[in-house]
Amino acid sequence: MDTLDTRYGSLSADGPVERHPDGGLRAAFLVAPFALDTTAGRLTPQHSSDDSRRMFKPPLTFHPNGQVRSVPLETRTVVHTPVGPLPAELITFHENGAIARVFPLNGKLSGYWTEADEGGLAEPLRIATPIGTLAAKFVAVAFDPAGRLRSLTLWPGEEIVVRAPCGNVPVRLGLSFHAGGTVCSLEPARPLEVSTPVGSIWAYDPDAVGISGDDNSLVFDGDGQVVRVATVRSSVLAQLPDGSRQELSPLVRDSICGDGDQELTALILEFAADSLTARHGVAAPVAVFPRAGVHYATRPFVAAFALSFAPKQCSM
């Protein structure tokens, strides 16, 4: 067992101790109670693991400047946040000490403890946001270094209605905010018709992962204009200055389940001030066109209507 000095006092640790290149403490596994004062209140990091959903003991981690970075809590604790009190089992901090992210639950998924088990413990929370109070089960609530609400990550299966630049939108997985409080991005719960610089597009990405609400498939700038959109229901026709035409469409691919079925890969359109970039999923761009001098039109992607929009669940 080692005794380690920190800006919060001396802590008792066991096992590997990780350090930053300058020798400062990066991570340690606690073996005894230890309390530290933070902007979220007085916290007791996890130092034991005694139930089926917490079969491991995560480390307490620190930023290079000595500020605590990640604090898994010994017991679920109500912490003080910029949006009011929130229950937490894990909380992370920015390097300036401000809260970065609050996780109401922090169970370890395994054969003994599933996502459904963990989700059953989640309770609906009411979060005050710049666009009104939103109530749902949240995986995480995130803030920027200035203490402004940055994003909300929803539990799988949760859906809320959000007042966005394009109207009231049913949202799944998550949403994020600009520093000024307007909606920055969201994940539509179902196909949604939105206005873009190239025409009307049906926004929806069936493959959206939802690991974090920070980044989503429908993105707005500070003025509420669409700057990125994913679609499996729309195609874009581009007539170039030389008279040639190119069609940008979602992809139809063979199912990863290998059963002869087909699935869709979303067409991602990104709008800059002077260009349009198109890609499929996370792949490299398939086209980059100027905004000026090109005539754009949109139309339904007919092939999509014969396929399910939901990701295929492979059977074992």
Is 111 a residue whose pLDDT tops 70? no
The pLDDT > 70 percentage for the chain reads: 89
Residues 181 and 293: their CA atoms lie apart, in Å, by 35
Q: Are the C-beta atoms of 42 and 34 separated by less than 8 Å?
A: no
* pLDDT tens-place string over residues 239-251: 999 989 999 999 9
* pLDDT tens-place string over residues 14-53: 889 999 999 999 999 999 999 999 999 999 999 987 666 7
pLDDT for 112 equals 63
pLDDT for 290 equals 93
pLDDT for 305 equals 64
Is 308 a residue whose pLDDT tops 60? no
Q: Average pLDDT of 118-124?
A: 78
Is 312 a residue whose pLDDT tops 80? no
pLDDT for 315 equals 43
Residues 22 and 45: their CA atoms lie apart, in Å, by 24
Q: For the chain, which residues make up each domain, given as ranges?
A: 2-116, 178-306
Dihedral, CA of residue 289, residue 290, residue 296 and residue 300, to nearest 10: 30
Is 165 a residue whose pLDDT tops 90? yes
Is 109 a residue whose pLDDT tops 90? no
* pLDDT tens-place string over residues 170-183: 999 999 999 999 99
* pLDDT tens-place string over residues 209-235: 877 889 999 999 999 999 999 999 999
* pLDDT tens-place string over residues 51-95: 667 667 889 999 999 999 999 999 999 999 999 999 999 999 999
pLDDT for 264 equals 86
Residues 7 and 66: their CA atoms lie apart, in Å, by 7
Q: Average pLDDT of 124-153?
A: 96
* pLDDT tens-place string over residues 250-300: 998 776 665 657 788 999 999 999 999 999 988 889 999 999 999 999 999
Is 313 a residue whose pLDDT tops 60? no
